[in-house]
Chain A
C-alpha cells in the first residue's frame, strides 16, 4: 500500500498575516503546494519559517488570511482527518521516555485507529513497510533515545509515512546530520515526491534546496520575496543578499543548478587584492 500513489492534495496559504505584539512575523503570505512538489523554504533564523509551518499545519490561526486544503479551509477538518492528510516531521529531538523505534513509528497510525483503539496487525504491517522503505528495519527494536540524530530523523520520517499522509511538512530535516545521511535523506525526499507526495521543507542550506527541490521559496522578514524553480531563484545576487557571501553557479549534466562558494586562498595573490569586493558586509 505504501508504494501506491497517494491521493493528490493541494495545500495553500492565502494572504496569511500573523503579528506577535507589535512585530509582524508573517506579512501577507501566499504559497501553494501541489502534488509531487518538493518546496524548499529558505530563510534566515527568525524569518518566520517555523511560524508559517505552524500555521500551515493548523496549530496556529493567522490573524488575517487562511490556509486551505483541497480548497476547503483547514478549520473545517478535524484534527484526526487532518493528520491523515498532512504529516509533520519535526527536527530530530530526544524523547523523555525510551520508546522503541517501532513504537514511535506506530504512533503514526493513531490518526487511522483513533486514540482509544489498539493498533491492529494491519497497522504493524504498515510500520514494517515504512521501516523497510527507509532501510531502517534493523533499528525497530532499538530505543529511540539511543540512536543517532540521523537515525532519529529517519524514524520521524517513517512515522510521517505511517500516517499515510500525502503532504509532509519538514522542519529543517538536514540539521545535525552527517554528510552520508544528508545525501540519503535528499534521495528519500526525491523518491517520496516521485510517488506523488508533496513535501514542504525548511532549510538553512541553499545547496540542499537546489539538489532536491522542484521549487524554492524565499522568506525574508516575514514576506515571500521569491518563489519559483531553483534555476530561476538561486542566483549569486540572491545568495549575496540572503547570506552576505559570494558564490558562483553552474549547471550540471542533468541540467540542475549547482552552487560553488567562492573561497579565497592566501597564496592566490591576484584574488587577494579583490577580497574586499568578494566579501562585502552582510546586508542588514
Chain B
C-alpha cells in the first residue's frame, strides 16, 4: 500500500513537471501560482491568467492527462492479459483489439473525417475484433487458452488485412497520411472533453482489473488449480478480458497505436514489486502513466517538431524488452 501511495505521488510530480515542458518557458512556480489563482486563493493579472490558462489547461493538460490515462490503461491491461494467458510475453494486442481499432480508425478517417467519429469507430472495432477472436475460440475449442490465442491471432490478421484495403482505397494526399500518422500514435489531438469522456470508463476498468488481482494469481497457475482453490476460472477469465479490452480499446481510440508500454511496464514492475497481481495491476497502472507522461515530454521537447509517441515508446521499449527477456525466459508452458 505504501508503495502504491508513493507511485501515485510520483505520478502527480511527473504531471506537474510535464506541465513545465514546452515551447513557452514556464517554471514549477508559475504552474503553482496559476493553480492557486484558479482556486481563487491568489490574485493574478487577467491577461497573464488568460495566457497561462491557454497554455496549461487548453494545450498541455489534456495531452498530459491523456498520456497518463493511456499509459495506465495499456500497462494494467497488459499485466492482466499476461496473467490470463500465463505468459509474461503477452501484450494487450493478444486478442486483436489493436488490429481492430486501427481498422476502425482508418475506416473512420475514410468515411467521416471528424475526430469524435474516428475515435468511436476505433473503439467499436477494437471491441468487435476481440468479439470475433472470442467467437472463434469458443466455436472450436470451448474457449481454451490456446484457442483464445489462435482466435486473437486470426482476428488480428483479419482486421489488419481489412486495414490494408482501407489504406489502398484511401485518398493518397489527404486520408492516407492521416491514417499513417494515426497508426504512429499521437497525444496531440486531445482536448478536455475527450479526456472527461474516457477517464471514467478507464478508471472503472482499472479498478475492476485490480479487484480481480488475487483471482488472477490463482488463474495463472492453471484452470484446474484455480477451480480447486474455489475460483470460478471461466468467469474470472471473461471478466478480466472484458475490463482489459474496454480500457485498451479506449486508450487506442484516444491516442492511436502506442506499442510496448503494455509489455514492458508490467515486466519492470514485476521485477521491482513481485508478481502478485493484487499489487502488480494498480502499480502497473501508475508506472505506465508515469512512463507515458515522461515519454510524451521527450517526444515534444527533443526536436523542433514533435516525434510521434508510438515511435518513441518503440525506441525505448525494444532495448528494455531485450533486458527483460534476459530475466524471464519462460515461454508457453
Inter-subunit contact B222/A115 (CB<8 Å): no
The total number of A-B Cβ pairs within 8 Å is 86
Interface string of B200-227 (1 = CB under 8 A from A): 0000000000011011011011101101
Q: A57 and B228 in contact (CB under 8 A), knowing A95-B221, A96-B87, A107-B218?
A: yes
How many chain B residues touch A (CB < 8 A): the figure is: 29
Interface stretch, picked from B12-20, B62-70, B273-281, B297-305, is: B273-281
Inter-subunit contact B228/A107 (CB<8 Å): no
Query: Is A194's beta carbon under 8 Å from chain B?
Result: no
Query: Is B231's beta carbon under 8 Å from chain A?
Result: yes
Inter-subunit contact B227/A59 (CB<8 Å): yes
A111 touches which of B217, B229, B333 (Cβ 8 Å): B229
Interface string of A84-110 (1 = CB under 8 A from B): 101110100111111110011001101
Q: A110 and B232 in contact (CB under 8 A), knowing A95-B220, A97-B220?
A: no
Query: Is B88's beta carbon under 8 Å from chain A?
Result: yes
Q: How far is the CB of A123 from chain B (nearest CB, A)?
A: 11
Inter-subunit contact A110/B276 (CB<8 Å): no
Query: Is A179's beta carbon under 8 Å from chain B?
Result: no
Bound-complex Cα distance A205 to B3 (A): 49
Q: A90 and B215 in contact (CB under 8 A), knowing A83-B228, A96-B87, A97-B88?
A: no
Query: Is B167's beta carbon under 8 Å from chain A?
Result: no
Q: How far is the CB of A141 from chain B (nearest CB, A)?
A: 11
Q: How far is the CB of B228 from chain A (nearest CB, A)?
A: 3
B217 touches which of A59, A90, A107 (Cβ 8 Å): A107
Inter-subunit contact A90/B222 (CB<8 Å): yes
Chain B at the A interface: SS class? loop
Query: Is A277's beta carbon under 8 Å from chain B?
Result: no
Bound-complex Cα distance A143 to B276 (A): 12
Q: How far is the CB of B85 from chain A (nearest CB, A)?
A: 9
A115 touches which of B83, B212, B330 (Cβ 8 Å): B212
Q: Which residue of A lies closest to B330 (CB)?
A: A96
Bound-complex Cα distance A96 to B87 (A): 6
Inter-subunit contact A83/B230 (CB<8 Å): yes
A110 touches which of B83, B230, B275 (Cβ 8 Å): B230
Q: How far is the CB of A67 from chain B (nearest CB, A)?
A: 14
Bound-complex Cα distance A110 to B217 (A): 10
Query: Is B60's beta carbon under 8 Å from chain A?
Result: no
Q: Which of A57, A86, A99 has the largest number of chain B CB atoms within 10 A? A: A99
In the complex, chain B residues whose CB is within 8 Å of the CB of A86 = 228
Enumerate the 5 nearest inter-chain pairs by beta-carbon distance, A residue then B residue, closest first: A83-B230, A88-B228, A111-B230, A97-B275, A115-B215
The 13 listed contacts between A and B (C-beta, < 8 Å) are: A54-B224, A84-B230, A88-B228, A90-B224, A90-B225, A97-B220, A99-B275, A103-B217, A107-B221, A110-B218, A110-B231, A115-B230, A116-B214
